[in-house]
Every structure is written in structure tokens, then in C-alpha cells.
A and B are shown apart, each in its own frame.
Chain A
């Protein structure tokens, strides 16, 4: 691909890092579920999904570190930044209130993530294209898995229906942020590297509409939408995540195992 200007490269580093942040923070939340899912198969499923996400993160962080060329590596990017430097979507740091929340968060994110990676698979950037081609295949399984649970719980008992609806309702205000284009998105879209987030809406709406229909659930109205994750302004949960995530590296700097 063509030589990028310094500003373009900086945008690409930020882009690669924040897509990695999305995967890292969601994988951390899923890892918290290990041994806490409602059944053994689900424990295995959620940790498998977390593993896919970690895999995506590693390639994206390594690429950012290589472009930046300041001696950082994937581990330093993962463990040694301040809260404000993490640029993940707010949706992904929301806590595992109950199993319905875990599934709703996964479903809403995957419904955007699948068309996102499908689009990124045409990127002019070789590394992002490679990550995307692989991620599409993995995320398709994530979306399908989450969708099946949304339907099973939504169209289940009165209790499971109520909890699934409550989780979708509670997390809905974090879905708007997934489609907001900022300067980095616009710059990279113009270069043929990034994705037009607006173009993901129809696929997201289809997936959400069809699955919620099958699940006898109601799609919430689009009201006020929370944002801030992409500029490092997080919800209160983020600090707690980082405290746990960074504990070992902060306590024993550079420790490996």
C-alpha cells in the first residue's frame, strides 16, 4: 500500500488500537464468566469467544506497536496504559449483571461487529484485511451463539423473557456509539483503510429486528445514546476492570510466565 503521511499513520495506530481495545475489554468481561455460566457448555462457549477476541487483540496491538515503533509491544499496550488511553466502546465494559446482560451485550456488539469486519475485509491495509478475514468467520459464530440465547430466553419462561427484555433495554443506550464516525474514522475511510460505520446500520437493524422478533422481544426506541468511549471517557466500571486486568503487571513490572 502507498506510503502514509505521519498524521495518517497516527490515525491508523489509533484505529488498530481501539478495535483491539473493543476485543480486549469484551474478552475480559467474558473471562469473568468462566465458571459462572449457567451450564458447563456455556462456560466453554464464553471462554472460547473470549479467546477469539484475545487473538484479534494481539494482532491489532502488535500492529499498532510496530507502526508506532516506540519499543512498545502487545503486552505493554494491553496492560500499561491509563484509563483515558483505552478507547473501547462503552457497551463492552458494562458488567455481567446476569446472564441475560452477558448475552445481550454479546448479541448487540456482534450484530455490528460482523458487518464491520465484512467491510474491513476490503481494506487497503494488508494487516487489517487479514485480521478482518479471520474475524468474520469467528464473529459469525459469536453472533449466531448469542442470537440463539436471545431467542431461547426471550421466548422462554415469563422470568427469562422479562430478564432478556430488561437487559436489551438497559444496554440499548450504548448501541448508538457503535455507529458514530469521528475524525479517525473519516480519515481512514477516505484512505480506503477504514469502514463507513453508517453503512453497518442496515445489517445491524436486520439482525436485531429478526432475532428480537423471533424472541418475542420488543426493540427499544432509540432515545438518548451514551458516548465517550472512543475519546477515553468511560463509565465507572472501567476503573474496576483495569484494576484487575493490570494488577500483575503493575505489581511485578515486566513479569512473564
Chain B
């Protein structure tokens, strides 16, 4: 995706994006909320700043924490009148993870989503064959040793956004950031 920060026009907007880029995702602290792609926009009207946020998963327990963290960071940096607006549509997709974010995930030991999430388009409305339903498992390289000889243990992992994988080469378990 295009680097969303580069869309910031004014110096003030850039400053706010910089503050947001220092707010970590509580569950994957190496990522900022900007890396994660959940900050969808910043509006400035005089003293009032409105940050639009799109939650990753409906039930993501981090959503509320992220909201509080964003407001706290903005307050600390001289924006006491900040508001967070939840935007549901368009729904968050792993395609919004920044390149830098993907790299940070890998370094952290989490396999980044294999591009792209849009493979589950409208075609599966037509042919809901069982193999379509089950989907093809992506080729997920091990973030620890780089081997492509990995297996999916479960589509559901330590958080709603991750699947649980294991490496057949180095035998280590690892998390995979699911395509969504």
C-alpha cells in the first residue's frame, strides 16, 4: 500500500502522524498503530483533532486500549482536544500493513501476511466447492530460520489476527499474521 503518512499535507498533520507512529500496538509492541494500518485519517479543525481508526477484528480486545493510547499520546504532545472516531467501513485488511510493519513483524518472530488478502473476492460466491471453502494454504516462510517447509497447526492462534504455524526445519512454533 502507499505510505499513508506521505499523504499528510500540512506540517501540523505530519506532526500528528509522527505522534501516532509512536503509539505501539499493545499486542505486537514492535508495530505502531500506523504500521498496522488502522489509522485511516487525521482531521484538524482549529484545536480539535479527530483520528479515524478502523478496528482489525470485531472482537479485538486491543481496540479500546489503542483508542486510549492514541488520546494519551496526543494529549501529551499538546493536543488535549483529540477525539477518536471508529470507522467500520471499508473493513480493515492486512493489505494495509506498511512495508516497514511487515518487516518489523518478521524480525519480531511473526510471519507477515502472504499477499494479498483480496484473493477471497467475489468468485467464491459462485463456486462454493469444498476446496474453495477450505482455501489453499499459503506458503508461509518461517520467520525464525527462513525455511519454506512449514505447516499450519491451526487457523486460530494467540490473538484473533493470528494463525498458529510450526516449522518442520527448525521445529519452532510461530505465529502467522492471517490475511484478512
A residues with CB within 8 A of B: 41-42, 44-45, 48-49, 51-56, 58-59, 115, 118, 126-127, 129-131, 133-138, 140-141, 143-145, 147-148, 151, 203, 206-207, 210-211, 213-214
- Distance to closest chain B CB from A61 (angstroms): 12
Q: Check B102 for interface membership: any CB of A closer than 8 A.
A: no
Question: Cβ of B88 and Cβ of A130 under 8 Å apart?
Answer: yes
Instruction: Report the minimal beta-carbon distance from B32 to chain A, rounded to whole angstroms.
Output: 22
| Known pairs A133-B88, A133-B90, A135-B58; A41 contacts B130 (CB<8 A) | no
Chain B interface category by residue count:
20 to 34
Beyond the given pairs A52-B58, A54-B58, A210-B130, 18 more chain A to chain B contacts, judged by CB atoms under 8 angstroms and listed by A's residue number, are A48-B157, A51-B57, A54-B59, A55-B57, A56-B59, A58-B59, A126-B88, A134-B58, A134-B88, A137-B91, A137-B93, A138-B57, A138-B58, A140-B120, A147-B133, A210-B129, A211-B130, A211-B133
Chain B, residues 61-83, CB within 8 Å of chain A (1/0): the string is: 10000000000000000000000
Within 8 A of A (CB), among B123-175: 125, 128-130, 133-135, 153-158, 160, 164
CA distance A139 to B29 in the complex (A): 27
Asked whether A41 and B164 contact (CB < 8 A) given A48-B156, A147-B133, A210-B133, the answer is yes
Whether the pair B157, A44 counts as a contact (CB closer than 8 A) is yes
In the complex, what distance in Å separates the CA atom of A135 from the CA atom of B157? 18
**What residues of chain B lie closer than 8 Å to A151, measured between beta carbons?**
130
Tell me if B156 and A44 are in contact (CB < 8 A).
yes
CB distance from B180 to the nearest CB of A (A): 5
A-side contacts of B90, CB under 8 Å: 133
Contacts of B156 in A (CB 8 A): 41, 44-45, 48-49, 141, 145
Contact B57 A207 (CB under 8 A): no
Residues of A within 8 A of B88 (CB): 59, 126-127, 129-131, 133-134
The answer to the question of B89 belonging to the interface, with a C-beta cut-off of 8 Å to chain A, is: yes
Q: Contacts A41-B153, A44-B156, A148-B134; is A52 near B89 (CB within 8 Å)? A: no
Chain A interface mostly: helix
Residue from B87, B128, B157 in contact with A206 in the complex, judged by beta carbons closer than 8 Å: B128
Query: Which interface residue of B133, B155, B160, B178 has the most chain A CB atoms within 10 A?
Result: B133
B93: nearest residue on chain A (CB-CB)?
Answer: A137
Give the complex CA separation of A136 and B135 in angstroms.
15
Q: Does B60 contact A (CB under 8 A)?
A: yes
Q: How far is the CA of A26 from the CA of B72 in the complex (A)?
A: 36
CB distance from A244 to the nearest CB of B (A): 20
Q: How far is the CA of A55 from the CA of B63 in the complex (A)?
A: 10
- Closest Cβ of chain B to A72, distance in Å, is 19
Across the interface, do A143 and B133 meet the contact criterion of CB distance under 8 Å?
yes
Known A45-B155, A203-B125; judge A129-B130 contact (CB<8 A).
Answer: no
In the complex formed, the residue of A with least CB distance to B124 is A140
